Amino acid sequence: MLIVHNTLHRQHAGRHEMFRGRLVPCHESPDRLDHLLAELHKRPVGTITEPGPLDEALLARIHSPRYLQFLAGAWDEWVALDPANAELDALPSVWPVRGFRADVLPANFAARMGLFSFDAGTPLTAGSWTAARQGAACAVAAAQAVASGSTRSAFALTRPPGHHAGTDFFGGYCFLNNAALAAQTLRDGGFERVAVLDVDYHHGNGTQSIFYARGDVLTVSLHGDPSTEYPFYLGYADERGEGEGAGCNLNLPLPRGTGFADWRAALGRGLDEVKRFGAQALVVPLGVDTFEGDPISAFTLRSADYFDIGRDLASAGLPTVFTFEGGYAVAEVGINAVNVLEGFGS
């Protein structure tokens, strides 16, 4: 397995997020990736490398130009409002809800923060753009390696995560959608039908929205029931795609407290859908926040279960790209993620 490492990830290090009505230290911290990297050094499952330059044209095919322009300059704008802001994270505080206009780009910075976001739990910091952009480069490089045939599988070892980011919005700790960029890279590399199978605890709402009307990319997500679990407003079973994408989206919501037997059965349904779709390559947004000790999730998987997840994913027999997503029981993140990768390669 090729592992493409984002050495710039620590430049995104949020101080606080809004969580359950109060400001708390960020759950999505640089330590998450550091624990995973340390575990990979203990249990090598592949060759670790760094990405080359990012294809800007590809980035603009997944995310809108005005959104990318905002992200690239947001920190400088934030500090220009008040030099003291350099010691603070930027968090959105207003949003255009139903009936409000989103087509007009406001001049006000706070208004644009709200226009391009969907929660107050994703702090924008001095290095967010640098880290997210390099993470996108990792996902693209991983997919390019798989598409070229130089490796059968690759892992984008990066943060911030990506599967909640849509065409023109950030949230859920995500700014650029690494899984979507990997899927598009595989399509451009010659695979006519690509599947994204998201195993994070939280629904991959950004990935779903990006591909919802496309028939060449199947999106499947196993996740906590959105009636009780973040991100709440997408992820229901009746969301099946539209237009050319009708029938190309499958959501498998599961109740709080779901154990591995039921979760694995849902994974089997997802893999059956991947086979039915005729996918030629697979992208796996790998979140390990399904773990029983995760502080913001509510499934009960144990560390040993992740070996079986890797084996089940390998049973698809497809060229595969993994992107690193959630998992906030920091001490166990590395163990659980590497267990998946080790199981996949066994």
Question: What are the residue numbers of the active site?
Answer: 164
Residue with tokens 């493409």: 4
How many residues belong to the chain? 346
Residue with tokens 């906030």: 328
Rounded distance, CA 166 to CA 155, Å?
Answer: 21
Structure tokens at 253: 């919501």
User: What is the separation, in whole angstroms, between the first and last Cα of the chain?
Assistant: 11
Rg of the chain taking only CA atoms, in angstroms: 19
Which among 281, 2, 314 has a CA at the least distance from the CA of 147?
Answer: 281
Q: Are 13 and 127 in contact (CB under 8 A)?
A: yes
Rounded distance, CA 155 to CA 322, Å?
Answer: 5
DSSP class of residue 220 equals: E
Rounded distance, CA 238 to CA 250, Å?
Answer: 8
Rounded distance, CA 218 to CA 63, Å?
Answer: 19
